[in-house]
Amino acid sequence: MTRRSWKSSITSTNWRMDNLSRHLKQAVKAVTAVVTAAAVLAGCSLLPREEQPLKAPLVKPASENYRTVKVTQGNIVKQVTGSGSLESVATDVAQFTGQGGRIASVAVHPGDQVKKGDLLVQLIMDGLDLQLKEQQLALERAKYAYSQAKKNGSDADALRIASLQTDIEQIKYDRLSKQFNSKQLRARIDGQVIFAEDLKEGDLVEAYQTLVTVADPTKLRVALRVENSNDIKDVDVGMTAEITLKNETVQGKVVQTPSSSPMTLNKDLADKYSRTLYIEVPQLPKAAEIGSSVDVKIVTQKKDNVLKIPRSGLRSYLGRNFVRVLEDGKRIREVDVEQGVVTPTEVEIVRGLQEGQDVILQ
């Protein structure tokens, strides 16, 4: 082989090797791509398949039920009602004023009828009654001596001495009589005993302790007492009151309210006045007597032909008064309103609503 042919052979061999190497690289790339794709596919097949979220079942929402009432037009009445009692306007309280003492006897009981001057209570006299009788005899002797001296024509000095002696005995008698009377309590009016302290002989009583109360049953009025004075704050003197006793109804007139009551330093009496209405009844029911319970009704405010709703339909928040109105049976709208007369059950609507609207109750 010549040098030229050997070089040609070497050159041809190198070209083949380069061409083979290039084909091998392309084959390796192709195999790598195939392996990678296979690995990706294999990996995807090993991972858990993502589940599709379940769709919520179609449920028809329940319709909400509202308690509603229609705005109506009519009359509204605000009134004070309660149970009152009949009490006497004229009462007499029997109590010892100078000093107390020990009880000898109580001559009356609740319900007894007494006349002016009848004995109610007597203290133990401690011999005072005997002293009074002795002094009465001494006074009568002095009077007799004076009359005899005058009859016998005694001189002026003798007559004067007899007269002075009579005066002295009279003064002694008056003093003892006053002491005697201070040991007794007597009725100062005709009437009925409505209170008598439960006492027995020997019990000690103090001065100004109420022992017996007598009331005139022919002069009665109604007293209506409440726990909260705000319940009667709208009542004024002169208002008409309806009084019912045993199915008989009569008319009366308010004569005293807490605001018109007399001033007093007595705390108990002031508290009583602050929660009491007094009603004068010209024509009393036939069954009326001291202590009878009566039904009282006083209308303090009345309006005709007004718009009104139940009180449970009115709502308040931070000084705002409003209602919830149901429209078309499903839409709710809040409406500000102006209220008028308010009773325990109803509210007058001055502005904000129309008759026939549906108001949702609380």
Angle, CA 229 vertex, CA 224 and CA 234 arms, to 5° = 85
Q: Is residue 58 part of a domain?
A: no
Tokens of 52: 């599709």
Q: Name the one residue in this structure whose structure tokens are 């008028």.
A: 340
pLDDT at position 7 = 45
Q: How far apart are CA 324 and CA 338, in angstroms?
A: 14
Pair 197, 111 in one domain: yes
Instruction: Give the domain CATH number at 316.
Output: 2.40.420.20
Residue 323 makes CB contacts below 8 A (sequence gap 6+) with 309, 313, 314, 315, 334, 335, 337, 352, 353, 359, 360
H/E element holding 360?
strand 358-360
H/E element holding 68?
strand 68-70
The whole-model pTM stands at 0.64
Q: Is residue 185 part of a domain?
A: yes
DSSP label of 200: -
Domain that holds residue 325: 68-76+304-360
Pair 225, 257 in one domain: yes
Q: How far apart are CA 345 and CA 351, in angstroms?
A: 19
Q: Which of 141, 146, 170, 143 is nearest to 159 (CA)?
A: 146
Pair 133, 112 in one domain: yes
pLDDT at position 152 = 84
Are 219 and 90 in contact, with CB atoms under 8 Å apart? yes
Digit-coded pLDDT (tens) for 13-61: 444 545 545 554 554 455 455 444 444 444 444 445 555 655 555 544 4
Pair 103, 207 in one domain: yes
Q: Which of 301, 324, 339 is the last residue of a domain?
A: 301
- What's the structural domain count of the chain? 4
Q: Is residue 297 part of a domain?
A: yes
pLDDT at position 177 = 83
Q: Is residue 218 part of a domain?
A: yes
Are 145 and 124 in contact, with CB atoms under 8 Å apart? no
Are 300 and 338 in contact, with CB atoms under 8 Å apart? no
Angle, CA 309 vertex, CA 307 and CA 311 arms, to 5° = 135
Pair 228, 317 in one domain: no
Residues lower than pLDDT 70 in the chain: 1-64
Are 283 and 72 in contact, with CB atoms under 8 Å apart? no
Q: Is residue 166 part of a domain?
A: yes
Digit-coded pLDDT (tens) for 134-159: 888 988 998 998 888 888 888 888 88
